[in-house]
Amino acid sequence: MAQVDRRHVVCIPYPAQSHMKAMLKLAKLLHHNGCHITFVNTEYNHRRLLKARGPNSLDGLPDFRFETLPDGLPPSDANVTQEIPSLFESIGKNLLAPFLSLVSKISASDVPPVTCIISDGFMSFTITAGEELGIPVILFFSLSAGGFMSFYQWPVLVEKGLTPLKGGILHMEVLKNGDKPHVVCIPSPFQSHIKAMLKLAKLLHHKGFHITFVNTEYNHKRFLKARGPNSLDGFPDFQFKTIPDGLPPSDSADSSQCILSLCESIRKNMISPFLSLVAMLNDKSAAASSYGVAPPVTCIVSDGFMSFTITAGEELGIPVVMFFTLSACGFMGFYQFHALLEKGLTPLKDVDAPQHIPSLAESLPRNALAPFLSLVSKLNDDSASTPGAPPVTCIVSDGFMSFSITAGAELGIPVVVFFSMSACGFMGFYQFRNLLEKGLTPLKGDE
C-alpha cells in the first residue's frame, strides 16, 4: 500500500491505566491491519512511561508513533496517579486547543494525512475537534458491559429520583449502637449468591451498619462442619441467624440441594419463619436497647430470587432492597426475556448458523450432522456392550453448532444450547440488525 493511501488513525485514550491499555491494544490491531497509527498520551503519563520502561521505550516505529499533549494541570514530576476530579475537569476545559494544534501539525508532516480519530468516550472534546478539522471521530468506550449498563440506565435513575442518593451515609461519623442502621441480609441459598451477599454485608458493616446475616439451617450446618463450630459466632454487630428452608431435614448429606425443590420450597414456605425472625430481632432490640445490644431492623437487603421478602417488608413496614448477584450478561438475559417471548423468538424454533465465516458456516450444517449422528449412535452402542459405560443422556452444544438440535430430535436426546460469548459479544449480536438498518454495517471500503 502506498504511503499516501494508508489510513492514518489518531488514537487518544483517557489518561488512566485501564483506558490506555485498552486503546493500545486496539491501536496494535489496527496497525497490524495496515493502518498508520499516532498514539497520543498526556505529557505527564508519557514521562511516567519513560521512567518505568526506559528512555527509548516509546520511540515506536515509522508507522506507529507516540505524541503528547499537556493535560492542563500544574506541572508535576510525581510518579503517582493524578487526582481524577481535577484531571477530568481539566480535560473538558483545556485539551481541545492543544489537540487541534497536534492534529494540524501531524497532517502537515511527512506522514499520511489523518483520516480518522479514535477517541476514548470520556474525551468528548475530540468530537468538536473532528468537526472543525473535517475528520471523522469514533468514540471507543473501554468500560465493561456491566459498566456500560450503569451509564445506559443513568437517565432513568435520575428521572425516577433514585439518584443522587438521598440521605447517604458513606462518610457518616461513628454512631452509637442504638443509632446504627440495622440491615438484615438474606441471600438465595446457593454458593455464589451467599458469597456476593456476604461481601456486600461486610462493606455495609465497615461503613457502620449493624448486620444480621440469614442462612438456611441446612447451609448453616454445612458451614459449621466445614469451618469449625465457632466459625459463625460473628461479632456483637455482625450476627448470623438461620431459618428453615422447608425441605425435609437431612443431616447426612453434605452436598448441594435439589435446585428445583429448593426454589419451590423457598417460594411456598420461607415467608413465615422469616417474618418470625425479623419480629424476634425487633423484640429483642426493644427489650435490650438500653444495653445497646441491637438496634431495630431498618432495612432488608434480599437476594432478587427471594421475592417473599417484599411481602414480609410490606407487612412489617420495613423497606426492602433487592440485590441481584448475577452477571451483566445474566441480567440482560432476564431483562430481554419478555421481549423475546412477545416476538416469538423464544422458545427457539430453529437456529441458523452464523454467516460471518462463510466457509465454516456453510460447511457445519451441511456436513457435520451425519458424522455427529454416527458418533452418538456409536457411543450408545458401546455403552450397551461395555459394563459401567452409561448411555448418552444429554448433548450440550455450542450455540453455533445448530445441527446438534436436529441430531437430538432424531435420537430422542435432549439438547442444551450453550452460548459462550461475553456480555459485550451478546450486545454486538443484539445490535446487529439495528446497525444494518442504519447502514453502518457492512463497513464501507473495508479491505
Same-fold call for 8-142 versus 182-248+258-337: yes
Q: Which of 104-118, 151-165, 276-290 has the highest mean pLDDT?
A: 104-118
For the chain, which residues make up each domain, given as ranges? Answer: 8-142, 182-248+258-337, 358-438
Query: Would strands 8-12 and 182-186 be described as parallel, antiparallel, or unpaired?
Result: unpaired
Predicted pLDDT of residue 99: 96
Task: Name the least confident of 24-28, 35-39, 274-278, 400-404.
Answer: 400-404
Average pLDDT on 255-275 reads 88
Predicted pLDDT of residue 76: 79
Average pLDDT on 251-269 reads 80
Average pLDDT on 22-32 reads 94
Predicted pLDDT of residue 146: 75
Predicted pLDDT of residue 3: 55
- Between CA 242 and CA 216 the distance in angstroms is 5
pTM for this prediction: 0.44
Q: What CATH number was assigned to the domain covering residues 8-142?
A: 3.40.50.2000
Is the predicted pLDDT of residue 373 greater than 80, yes or no?
Answer: yes
C-alpha closest to that of 215 among 225, 223, 206? 223
- Cell of residue 360, nine digits: 465454516
Is the predicted pLDDT of residue 353 greater than 50, yes or no?
Answer: no
Predicted pLDDT of residue 363: 75
353, 419 Cβ separation under 8 angstroms: no
- Between CA 70 and CA 97 the distance in angstroms is 10
Q: Which CATH class is domain 182-248+258-337?
A: alpha beta
pLDDT in tens, 193-249: 999 999 999 999 998 999 999 999 998 888 888 888 787 777 888 999 999 998 887
CA atoms in the 13 A half-sphere facing the CB of 13: 21
CA angle 161, 165, 170 (to 5 degrees): 175
Count CB-CB contacts under 10 A for residue 302.
Answer: 25
**Whose grid coordinates read 461503613?**
207
Predicted pLDDT of residue 291: 37
Residue 406, classified by CB atoms within 10 Å of its CB into exposed (0-12), middle (13-18) or buried (19+), is middle
SS3 for 213?
strand
- Residue 284 sits at φ, ψ, to 5 deg, of -65, -40
- Bridge partners (DSSP) of residue 182 are 210, 297
Q: Left if phi > 0, otherwise alpha if psi is -120 to 50, otherwise beta: which for 369? A: alpha
Query: Would strands 64-69 and 116-120 be described as parallel, antiparallel, or unpaired?
Result: unpaired
